[in-house]
Structures are given as structure tokens and as C-alpha cells.
Structure 1
Amino acid sequence: MQLVVFAIRQTEAGSLGDWQPIEGEVSELRVHYGPGYRLYFVRRGRVIVVLLNAGDKSTQKRDIRRAVKLASELGDDL
């Protein structure tokens, strides 16, 4: 779990690491440790990143659906 926190801290410092766009504005940050942790996020402008959901490889499809739903509910308020 410490590597997941480390990945979040790296993102805060401006280094996204191993990530890829998933669907719409949702992207996935991959942590290559244990069960294959995944963090789902959207970017707002050049600075703000909103963490939507997280899980591991075994729950990936469900986690992506949830992240996409949450992203659609965010609107442009951020």
C-alpha cells in the first residue's frame, strides 16, 4: 500500500508515472505491485487532478465504469 501512496505523492509533485487514457476524460495510473493497483483520475486544466476511484486488476472493469460515472457527475465546477 505504501507504493500506492508514493504514486499519489509523485502525481502531486507533477510526475504521473505509468498512466494511460481509458475512456472519455478518465485516465488510469498503474502501480506495478501486488495485485496490480489502479488509480482512476481526471485532469482539470494543467494542475488539478481529481482521484475518482481505485482498485486492482481483478476489479478493473467495475472500477472503470464507476470512475467514468463519477467523472460525468463532476461537471465543470472544478
Structure 2
Amino acid sequence: MDRKNDLKNKYPIGYNVFVATPKELVEYLDESGDSPFSSWLSNLRDSKGRAVIRKRLNRIRLGNLGDYKSVGDGVYEIRIHFGPGYRIYFGVDQETIVVLLAGGDKSTQIDDIRRSKGLWKEYWR
């Protein structure tokens, strides 16, 4: 038996190849036209943390979401292992549009998740 064909049968192409799909990042805007995510990021005092978050956003644009999980109701949480444990909350509109809802850190996680779920519901109204 041919070794190359043997490996193809064991590991189909979908298993072997990871294709990162680029994402378009958009920010949720409230009724007054303000972005809760942008407000949080611009008010962040930790300049190194802000740089790490921006770097992560660039990776997301390339299709690499990294460490994230669902927190329910269509909202996801990206965990950034830096500083106080920054979080980015988002929803997905279609497959390639990531809607940035809010940000926070581990200490405000419960309130941030609740708020983000409310913003996500508003987004769909």
C-alpha cells in the first residue's frame, strides 16, 4: 500500500488544513451613536494592555479568534491573558462579521456579560 494514500485515508483534508477566514470587525453603536467597546478601550489607562488588545483585534481580522468561548445568547467572550485578564465581548453577524459589543476584565466579567447580551439583543432590533 502506498504510504501517501494511506495517510489521506486516515486524515481527510478537512482535518489537516486549517483555513482562517478573514473577519470584518464592526462596532455596535448605541442609540446616540456611541460605541461601548470603543469607549472602554479609549478609557483604558493601561497603555500596554491597550496595545495587546489592538494586536489581538488585528489577529481577529485575519481570522484567528484565539481563546474564546460562548457566554450564551449569541454572545462570545475573547479572553486576553494579559494584565487583569482583559475580555472582549462580541457577536457574529453572518459568518465573517464580528460585532464588537463591549470590553472589560475578569473583575467585571459578570456585569460585562449581562450588558453585552443586552447590547446584542438591541443590535438585532
The verdict on a shared fold, with TM-score over 0.5 as the criterion, is yes
Partner in structure 1 of residue 36 of structure 2: none
CA RMSD of aligned residues (A): 1.0
Q: CA offsets, 1:33-78, max 9 Å, x none?
A: 00000000001111100000000000001100110000000117xx
Partner in structure 2 of residue 49 of structure 1: 98
The 1-side partners of 2:99 and 2:66 are apart by 16
Partner in structure 2 of residue 36 of structure 1: 85
Of the three residues 65, 68, 72, the one matched with 2:114 is 65
The 1-side partners of 2:120 and 2:103 are apart by 13
Residue-pair matches, total: 76
More strand by share: 1
Highest Rg: 1 or 2? 2
Return the structure number with greater relative CO, CA threshold 8 A, min gap 6: 2
Gap runs ≥5 in structure 1: none
Secondary structure (helix, strand or coil) at the match of 2:83 reads: coil
The 2-side partners of 1:34 and 1:49 are apart by 24
Calculate the TM-score normalised by the size of structure 1: 0.93
Calculate the TM-score normalised by the size of structure 2: 0.59
More helix by share: 2
Partner in structure 1 of residue 63 of structure 2: 14
Secondary structure (helix, strand or coil) at the match of 2:65 reads: coil
The 2-side partners of 1:24 and 1:10 are apart by 24
Gap runs ≥5 in structure 2: 1-49
